[in-house]
Amino acid sequence: MVAGVVERGVIGVDLGGTKLLAGAVDADLAIHHRTNRLIYGLDQNGLVQMVADAVQEIRTAVGDGIEAVGFGIPCTFDSRTGMAVQAANAPLHEIAFHEVMAERLGLPVAVDNDANCAVLCEARVGSAAGCSEVVLLTLGTGIGGGLLLRGEVYRGWLGGGAEMGHMVVDMDGPPCQSNCPNYGCLETMCSGTTLVRLASVAVARRPDTALGLALEEGRELTGPLITELAQQGDPVCRDAIGEIGRRLGIGVVSLVNIFNPQVVVIGGGVSAAGDLLLDPARAMVHERALLPGRDAVRMEIARFGPEAGMVGAALMAREAGGLFNAGYSEIVA
């Protein structure tokens, strides 16, 4: 297919803490006309309008064959009211997001937590395909968590479950970086934001490294830069990613002991570090987790990488599997 002739397509929208990624997804999971937008500085009204504009851009580009839109947003939900209650890293609070978008777009809409969308994608067609018990963590600005238990996305009693990025791994740790009142959360200990902070402190002590030279040349200290230089052997970057991996492993130990998953999938931008991140985490799991899960669980990088949330949102819309699908049974494939 080419732009303008997508038939029976759905649009998947993945809204993160710093950016939006969206695209039209056809029945074969081919993606048409991606769009990326930054959300810096937006309030809730501005963010809602930007999301609607992004969807409209895609509809204009691919024609009239779009049947539904799925949204993965970094929020907790309350199934009693249908409200998106609280977002850790985005300006969303107490909003009936599905109703707002259905009204603005005039299309069937499904809405769920962004990591729930990502775990659905990876369990259906990604690194956990064929598995019924899956844990997914997305390491980006913050840390999202998705659970698949007995083949179904687990959302908890009210729709606010599986926020594994906010489990405490250090009760005396630093305050959570987002709108969480806790201390020592997994998110605070090993998110992409923390990776940048660790590397910043380390490079100040060791400026005579590839990272120090890159910063002198005016490059911005970002997760992708750290990953790039780590893969080239920079010791500061490798050490920072290794520390994030060990901290991640501590969290995964608890998840392995609690859920006994077949696979733990790691997604988000930090996952681009691959085995530089996973090997220290795997070592921690092997050292500290309980049998039988310790020796049976796999840790894998998300097959769909940063697009898992977008593809999962599209799948959720097509399957009418979101928390609030606005009653549109016709969007089921």
Statement to judge: residues 47 and 81 lie in one domain: yes
Which of 18, 56, 53, 21 lies closest to 38 in space, CA to CA? 18
Q: What is the tens place of the pLDDT at every residue in 193-244? A: 999 999 999 999 999 999 999 999 999 999 999 999 999 999 999 999 999 9
- Which CATH number is 35's domain given? 3.30.420.40
Domain extent at residue 324: 9-114+307-331
Residue 16: per-residue pLDDT? 81
Q: Is the residue at 57 inside a domain?
A: yes
Q: What is the tens place of the pLDDT at every residue in 50-91? A: 999 999 999 999 888 889 999 999 888 888 888 888 777 788
Q: Is the residue at 254 inside a domain?
A: yes
Residue 5: per-residue pLDDT? 57
Residue 265 has pLDDT above 60, yes or no: yes
Statement to judge: residues 188 and 89 lie in one domain: no
Q: Using CB atoms within 10 Å of the CB of residue 63, give its burial: 0 to 12 exposed, 13 to 18 middle, 19+ buried.
A: middle
Statement to judge: residues 226 and 190 lie in one domain: yes
Q: Answer whether 180's CB lies under 8 Å from 166's CB.
A: yes
Placement of tokens 């395909």 in the chain:
129
Statement to judge: residues 15 and 131 lie in one domain: no
The sheet carrying 298-301 orders its strands as 152-153, 143-149, 134-139, 263-267, 298-301
Q: Is the residue at 283 inside a domain?
A: yes
Counting the structural domains of the chain, the total is 2
Statement to judge: residues 96 and 34 lie in one domain: yes
Q: Which helix (H) or strand (E) holds 147?
A: strand 143-149
Q: Which helix (H) or strand (E) holds 277?
A: helix 275-288
19 versus 295: the higher-pLDDT residue is 295
Q: What is the tens place of the pLDDT at every residue in 86-109? A: 777 788 888 889 899 999 999 999
Q: 3-state class of 162 per DSSP?
A: coil
The sheet carrying 66-73 orders its strands as 31-38, 19-25, 9-15, 66-73, 109-113
Other Cβ atoms closer than 10 A to 170: 14
Statement to judge: residues 174 and 260 lie in one domain: yes
Quote the pTM value: 0.88
Statement to judge: residues 240 and 273 lie in one domain: yes
